[in-house]
Copies of this chain bind each other. A is one copy, B any other.
Amino acid sequence: MDTDVPGYIDENAVGFFAALKEWLAIPSISADPARHADVRRSARWLARQLQTAGFPTVQVWETGTADEPGLPAVFAQWTAADPAAPVVLVYGHHDVQPVEPLDEWDSPPFEPAERAGQLLARGASDDKGQVFFHVLGTRAWLAAHAAAAPPVTIKLIVEGEEESGSPHFADLLRRERERLACDVIVVSDTTMWAADVPSMCTGTRGVVAAQVDLRGAEHDLHSGSFGGAIPNPLHVLADLLVGLHDSDGRITLPGFYDRVAALTQAEREMFAKLPFDEKTWLGTAGKSGAVAGEAGFSTLERVWARPTAEVNGMWGGHTGPGGKTIIPCEAHAKLSFRLVAHQEPAEVTDTLRRYVADRTPPGIEATVTVEGLGVRPAFSPIDSPAVAAARRAMERAFGREVLFTREGGSGPEADLTGILGAPLAFVGVGLDEDRAHAPNEKADMGLLLKGAQTAAYLWEEFAAAAAELRQ
């Protein structure tokens, strides 16, 4: 062997970053119709790079319909020499967040700049840098092994609408289910705990959003004439909302926790190993406040591994200056539930509808409007073969123990695993301090190279775990 994986990556780092900067210079903002041509250009740029890197199959896939066209995803495939090798699908996205407010950027968002080992540009961390390290990692493995094909079949699916809520992604997955068929899905769009605390995400929460509208009298009533003897929709709404939690902060909807996968002792211990400082975390909320939540769980457990019910907005009656002694005729609230595996959005919305109907007193009419179908939670147990193999790869690259986290938010991962029927492994080297979605987004260049190393080892580890992955 002329070289090894780290050696190849070191030697090719300059070229890697030069290419990545070209890609970062394309303002592929999917939320901005004026930038849709750039999103298409970004897809073409990536396709060309993948061809140059040696991927035998590279395609740009259109999404949406003729009537409502979407933005393109890039698909690539490099088949293993061994037909029995596992098939690994890597997920990422090539679109980026908007850049406003522009005046808060230290350098223009689409003129990539290096500063003290950091690469500054919109998309550097979320998600172009993390997609691109897989290409370098694959080249490194091939060079280190003087091989013509990787030890697993690598498929890449890099979508162009993730920052707009992936509106056509589930349809694309269903349409291309056969070409995307795989044994494991690697998601590279998450963060690690810290640069010196490598970690893997093992789940994302699902979400259900609904609006509750209450109606009492036909018009606002004089509180002198009616006050005390007519139900007030705002009181009823407050009661409905308060009733969603018991005094332990548990959600009261019947059966709500029935499908919740309990945290294992091993996972709780892994969470507890993370150097979590509650005060610092509270500081990111902009104030030295306080934590609060479900009894019996730590803050990280609450945010990552437990479902929630949140009131996102509420309104009714007189909200202008001064007083108005009325019993308002209407009250409204927007609610959302974060779900964890294996809760089903449809079951939660059914239970919510029944709860509101049962708890609404005579004289008030209640309507529950659910937004869309919701997002299902995604979950990869820490002892699953996919996670274990990915962890070994990451530990080899970082030379230290890799811990586990989860994501409190929601993404397209549940669709990936649900539609394609393969387990997930989250392999990301972003950091919370990368300011994804905010001005001055950046990526740690050293971590992107560690990501490339991880990718190279990942193919080996998955190949070695072929039997377990196929179980």
Contacts and interface: CB of A to CB of B under 8 A. Distances in A.
Interface of A: 205, 207, 209, 211, 216-219, 221-232, 234-235, 237-239, 241-242, 245, 282, 285-287, 289-294, 299, 302-303, 306-308, 310-319, 322-328, 331-334, 336, 338, 361-364, 371, 407-410
Contacts of A232: 310-311
Contacts of A229: 291-293, 299, 302-303
A237 B408 CA distance: 24
30 contacts: A209-B323, A216-B289, A217-B287, A218-B286, A218-B287, A221-B285, A222-B408, A224-B410, A226-B285, A226-B303, A227-B308, A228-B302, A228-B408, A229-B291, A230-B292, A231-B289, A234-B311, A235-B245, A238-B239, A238-B241, A238-B314, A239-B242, A242-B242, A291-B363, A312-B324, A312-B326, A313-B324, A314-B331, A315-B316, A318-B334
Given A242-B239, A319-B315, A334-B317, A227 B310 contact: yes
B319 A324 contact: no
Contacts of A227: 303, 308, 310, 338, 408
A219 B313 contact: no
A436 to B, nearest CB: 12
A322 B230 CA distance: 31
Nearest to A283: B218
Number of copies: 2
B319 A332 contact: yes
Q: Which 6 A-B pairs have the closest CB atoms?
A: A218-B286, A224-B409, A290-B363, A313-B317, A289-B363, A290-B362
B235 A290 contact: no
A316 to B, nearest CB: 5
Contact of A241 (B218, B234, B308, B361): B234
A142 to B, nearest CB: 38
Contacts of A323: 209, 211, 312, 334, 336, 371
Contact of A228 (B303, B315, B326, B361): B303
Given A223-B310, A229-B303, 9 more contacts: A217-B286, A217-B287, A222-B409, A228-B307, A229-B292, A235-B245, A235-B311, A237-B314, A323-B334
A224 B289 contact: no
A18 to B, nearest CB: 34
Given A223-B312, A235-B242, A318-B312, A292 B408 contact: no
Given A224-B409, A314-B314, A371-B322, A242 B238 contact: yes
B228 A325 contact: no
Contacts of A362: 289-290, 292
A462 to B, nearest CB: 29
Given A225-B408, A228-B308, A308-B228, A314 B242 contact: no
Contacts of A308: 223, 227-228
A285 B331 CA distance: 16
A209 B334 CA distance: 27
Contact of A313 (B209, B245, B285, B318): B318
B313 A319 contact: yes
Task: Pick the most buried of A229, A230, A242: most chain B CB atoms within 10 A of its CB.
Answer: A229
A32 B300 CA distance: 60
Nearest to A300: B229
Given A229-B292, A242-B238, A315-B319, A224 B338 contact: yes
A241 B239 CA distance: 8
A314 B229 CA distance: 20
Contacts of A333: 234
B363 A228 contact: no
Nearest to A244: B235
